[in-house]
Structure 1
């Protein structure tokens, strides 16, 4: 039976509000007993293969103020360029690496932090290798739909130059908004929502 297209109405989008932390990071929100630890907190253990790195940064609004109630999720390949996913057909990802993490920004400083490994290169749809990168998903009060962006590594210049996603960015002056800043084993990546330094976001 064919049903009318106006039978079910689309629910309106709304901002994440304060409830995103209650639902996704209850321990962070001082709600005990839901999970032993918040999901996504630990991505690695002492048997995880690959180069250990730390990623830190802040989500910054158009006035230059860090958002202190943002929540970030990341998704990346392991050190061999394999994903911990049922759809991964090229091999088995490191079983000691989650490939996924979740972190609420610090309520005082607005800073987030992930302890992870540097990802390997993965193929684009046409088979070309993408540069090592980490996908970011950002939600916060005032953001109706989660924002998607990517972190690329400054010490991967050759790979970045041939990356099929970076090469699609029309305004080349905006490419640096996707490149982290390196300090030893730590990469700093601020996400700017608006303004002159606005980060490139992807419609996916």
Structure 2
């Protein structure tokens, strides 16, 4: 009897089944900070509250999201060394707010000024927004424009690149004392998000 090696069958390789992410997004401690939504003190001239709600495709609140904003000051200046006009402001311009159980968020801020583009155009006053939430592998980025900046909005090169039927998803609404901007992650009236 000869001793022949055993031939083992080769495994069949297939694709790994798809998996969903979440809902296990939890805000790490330290991401939200106590004055994160307050870009300016309450007694700042022309300060207003920007509030909103983060909802999913079914319109249900997202209670475990994080909304960040980044904006210029009232003169269109950033407190950042990459501002080509120089850092001439002490305005922080960055805020972060965790959503509550009803998906609500808020910020106290001032209206930003317009921004020049490298091509010599002007962007309308706007606030950049980042959204992090359960079920998302990457952050979502959008913008908030102001409804009463009609002329500036019409000339804004970014807003002009958005399908006219969807531009209203980027406009805040007056709510009496400030502005409201709801963010819908999917579905009908999904907020326009930008690819960076």
TM-score over 0.5 for the pair: yes
Cα distance in 1 between the residues matched to 2:147 and 2:29: 35
Q: Alpha carbons of 1:125 and 1:15: their partners in 2 closer, same or farther (altered >3 Å)? A: farther
Contact 1:17 1:140 in 2 (8 A): no
Contact 2:81 2:87 in 1 (8 A): no
Cα distance, 1:39 vs. partner? 6.3
Query: Which residue of the partner structure matches residue 90 of structure 1?
Result: 85
Query: Which residue of the partner structure matches residue 182 of structure 1?
Result: 174
Cα distance, 1:47 vs. partner? 7.9
Aligned-residue CA RMSD (Å)? 2.0
Query: Which residue of the partner structure matches residue 7 of structure 2?
Result: none
Instruction: Name structure 2 gaps, 5 residues minimum.
Output: 1-20
Q: Deviations over 1:64-94 (max 9, x none)?
A: 1110111011000000000110111314343
Contact 2:37 2:108 in 1 (8 A): no
Cα distance in 1 between the residues matched to 2:114 and 2:84: 15
Larger radius of gyration between Structure 1 and Structure 2: 2
Query: Which residue of the partner structure matches residue 93 of structure 2?
Result: 99
Contact 1:73 1:100 in 2 (8 A): yes
Q: Output aligned runs, 1:1-204, within 5 Å.
A: 17-25=24-32, 37-38=33-34, 40-45=36-41, 51-95=46-90, 97-107=91-101, 109-169=102-162, 171-204=163-196
Query: Which residue of the partner structure matches residue 30 of structure 1?
Result: none
Contact 2:26 2:64 in 1 (8 A): no
Instruction: Name structure 1 gaps, 5 residues minimum.
Output: 1-13, 26-36
Cα distance in 2 between the residues matched to 1:185 and 1:80: 22
TM-score, normalisation: structure 2: 0.83
Q: Alpha carbons of 1:19 and 1:69: their partners in 2 closer, same or farther (altered >3 Å)? A: closer
Aligned residues: 176
Contact 2:129 2:143 in 1 (8 A): yes
Q: Deviations over 1:115-143 (max 9, x none)?
A: 00000001122121100000000001111
Cα distance in 1 between the residues matched to 2:149 and 2:37: 27
Q: Alpha carbons of 1:84 and 1:47: their partners in 2 closer, same or farther (altered >3 Å)? A: farther
